[in-house]
Amino acid sequence: MSVMKSSGRFFTIALVASWYSSNIGVLLLNKYLLSNYGFKYPIFLTMCHMTACSLLSYIAIAWMKMVPMQTIRSRVQFMKISALSFIFCASVVSGNISLKYLPVSFNQAIGATTPFFTAVFAYLMTLKREAWLTYVTLIPVVTGVIIASGGEPSFHLFGFIMCIGATAARALKSVLQGILLSSEGEKLNSMNLLLYMAPIAVVLLLPATLFMEENVVGITLALAREDNRIIWLLLFNSALAYFVNLTNFLVTKHTSALTLQVLGNAKGAVAVVVSILIFRNPVSVTGMLGYSLTVFGVILYSEAKKRTK
C-alpha cells in the first residue's frame, strides 16, 4: 500500500513539475521570440499555438483516448463555445503583445490580479456576492500591482494596458464558462473544450494575422533560410502551449481546486525569479514589494473563499 501511495505522490510531483516547466517555458520562449529574438508577430505566434492545440487535442482525445470525446449537442452550444474562443483569443493575443513591451516579471505581477477581475465579472454578470471579507482581501491584490507599476524600471503604458486586458479577458472567460456551460448537457471538460475552441480560434486569428501582420509567413520563411532555429523554436513553443493546457487539466484532476490555486500562486513567483535570472531585466525593491503584496493578497483571497464555502 505504501509503495502505491509513494508512487502516487511521485506521479503528482512529476505532474506539477511538468505543469510548472511547460507554463514558465512558454512564457520565457514567447518573451525571447517577441522581444529578444525580434520576431515581432504576436498574433501569428498565437495562431501557431492554437493550430498545435487543435492537432494535439485531436490526437490526445480521438486517438490516444486520454479522455472520452464529448460532442457538441446544439447550435446554441456551438455559439457559446465560439464566444468563449473569441475571448480566449483576445486574452492570449493581448498577453503576447504585452510580452513584447514588458518584462516577464512585471507581466506575472499584473497576471496575479486575475481574482480581482473574476470577482468583479462574477458580481456584474451573476450578481453573486462574495462575503465582505473576500472583497477586503482583493485590496492588497490591486494595491500591490499599483506599487509594482510605480517601481517598475521597464514600465511601458501600452504593454501595461495590453496585459491588464489579457488578465481581464482571462477572468471573463472563466466566469462566462461557468455560466454558459453550466447545464449538465452542455458541460465539457477542459480538454474537450480546448478541442473545439482551438480550431475556432485559428479561424478567428487567420484574418487578423493577414490583415495586421501582413506577409508574416513570407517573413518567417525568409528568417528560416537565414536561421532554421526559428522553425524549431516556433514548433517547440506551440507544442509547449498545448502541454500547458494538458498538464493544467491533469493537475486539476489529480489534486484539489485549492491545491491548484496555491500552486498557481507559487508558479507566478517562480516565473518571476526564473525570468529575472535569464533576461536580467532590472527590478526595483518597490517592484518586488508590490509583487509580494499582490501574491500575499491572492493567498488571503483563496483562504477567504475557502472559509465562506
**Which of 59-68, 153-162, 203-212, 258-267 is least confident?**
258-267
DSSP string across 59-76: IIIIIS-SS-------HH
For 173-200, letters b (16+ CB in 10 Å) and e give bebbbeebbeeeebebebbbbbbbbbbb
The C-alpha atoms of residue 29 and residue 32 are separated, in whole angstroms, by 5
Rounded CA separation 17/31 (Å): 21
In this prediction, residue 62 has a pLDDT band, given cuts at 50, 70 and 90, of very high
Section 11-23 average pLDDT: 93
Write the burial class of residue 255 (CB in 10 Å: 0-12 exposed, 13-18 middle, 19+ buried). Answer: middle
| pLDDT tens by residue, 178-196 | 888 888 888 899 999 999 9
Calculate mean pLDDT across residues 88-93: 96
d(CA 85, CA 200): 7
Angle, helix 285-308 to helix 257-279, in steps of 10 degrees = 170
Overall average pLDDT of the 282-292 stretch? 91
Q: With 90 as the cut, is the pLDDT of residue 265 above it?
A: no
Q: Is residue 283 predicted with pLDDT exceeding 90?
A: no
Report the range of poorest mean pLDDT among 144-153, 160-169, 170-179, 255-264: 255-264
- For residue 4, pLDDT over 70 is answered with no
Question: Which of 217-226, 272-281, 299-308 is least confident?
Answer: 299-308
pLDDT band at residue 269 using 50, 70 and 90 as cut-offs: confident
When pLDDT is cut at 50, 70 and 90, the band that residue 2 belongs to is: low
Mean pLDDT, range 4-10, rounded to an integer = 76
**Whole-number percent of the chain with pLDDT over 70:** 97
The residue-averaged pLDDT of 102-126 equals 92
Residue with cell 487543435: 54
Specify the pLDDT at position 212: 94
Of 305 and 117, which is predicted with more confidence? 117
Mean pLDDT score, 57-78: 94
Q: Which pLDDT score is estimated for 89?
A: 96
> Which pTM was predicted?
0.90
Q: Considering the chain, what is the average pLDDT of its residues? A: 91
pLDDT at 262 over 80: no
Q: What is the pLDDT of residue 254?
A: 85
| Measured distance CA(172)–CA(230) in Å, rounded | 33
Q: What is the mean pLDDT of residues 132-137?
A: 91
Confidence grade of residue 258 (pLDDT, cut at 50, 70, 90): low
The whole-angstrom separation of Cα 245 and Cα 260 is: 13
pLDDT of residue 94: 97
